[in-house]
Amino acid sequence: MPELSASLYNSPFLKACRREPTPVTPIWLMRQAGRYMPEYRAIRSKVGFLELCKTPELATQVTVEAAEILGVDAAILFADILLILEPLGFDLEFTKGEGPAIHNPIRAAADVDRVNVVENLDDLSYVFEALRQIRRALPSDLPLIGFAGAPFTLACYAIEGGGSRNYEKAKTFMHTDQGAWDSLMSRLVDATVMYLNAQAEAGAQVLQIFDSWVGQLSPTDYRRYVLPHMRRLFQSLTPGVPTIHFGTDTGSLLELQRDAGGDVIGLDFRVELNHAWKRLGDQVAVQGNLDPTILFAPPAEIKQHAERILREANGQPGHIFNLGHGILPGTPVDHVRGLIDLVHNHSFSRDLEPI
């Protein structure tokens, strides 16, 4: 891992990841480079989504542009969690209006044998080149976040063949043959560890693991089918690189996620931040957790909800302000910028009384 400059190490975002006091509450937003931005839409009108992901110059442009326009405390690599499925042997396509489609999904235990054991990441070299270019283009004191999908969420996509409402194919596979499930998860963990460590080497200061679908599991199933694999993943990452463990609809799984690993636990908007942090304990930082739909509301309403979250954080070191999920298409850009200014200007230590 490249050595950090003093300005990067002491940035508000990295200090919050380490649960150190910060002069303001740091904020970045999931999908901060996305369809709500005219600059992004202009690029997407000329290139497809996968082409954008696979062209380092364009990925650099949308990543850096979003960070500059918004004034956030961290940039995040423009990519997609499913890119790693290609070197694993899956035929991935992003269809217009339909989202991702995997044309050779896993449907039986024997199909796991055709999942590649990834020995190198040459097929993802464009990701690492983008990271190097982004790091050079960003201000020297602005951290860069790399990321990957968590093995459970990747497994669901690989088995379902795309998005799902009930995850019946993935869950049936999981419950029918635990040996095949563990074998698939093991291959996904190995590839993801290699991928994330290479991102850190290429220029990412923080790594976020997105477990977007894990909230569909009961605590019993998480403990049995996911926790051992996530624990091995986190334990295998490069020491000293802060990690963020994020999932959606995970109010029943927070303690298990903490036990699995992560310096920062991402909270979605379905939990109250102060209660969730109390459950997690003070040995982890937290990230979150404004409902993204609030950004469509009038500024006064946005202010009310943002200040509530700041009061819930209560000035405790280790709070990173974010949404409970990604910015939605159609969100007014000036509302996003207003939120960021509000968080920077109204951190608890100066303005707010605790709840």
The catalytic residues are 31, 35, 44, 80, 157
Q: Are strands 99-102 and 92-95 parallel, antiparallel or unpaired?
A: antiparallel
DSSP, res 149: E
Which SS3 state, helix, strand or coil, does residue 43 take? helix
Q: What is the H or E stretch that residue 32 is in?
A: none
The rounded distance, in Å, linking the Cα atoms of 28 and 323 is: 8
The rounded distance, in Å, linking the Cα atoms of 300 and 192 is: 42
Length of the chain: 355
Q: Are strands 99-102 and 144-149 parallel, antiparallel or unpaired?
A: unpaired
DSSP, res 262: -
Which SS3 state, helix, strand or coil, does residue 287 take? strand
Positive or negative torsion for Cα 260, 254, 26, 195: positive
Residue 341: name the closest of 293, 306, 292 by CA. 306
* 3-state SS string for 156-203: HHHHHCECCCCCHHHHHHHHHCHHHHHHHHHHHHHHHHHHHHHHHHHC
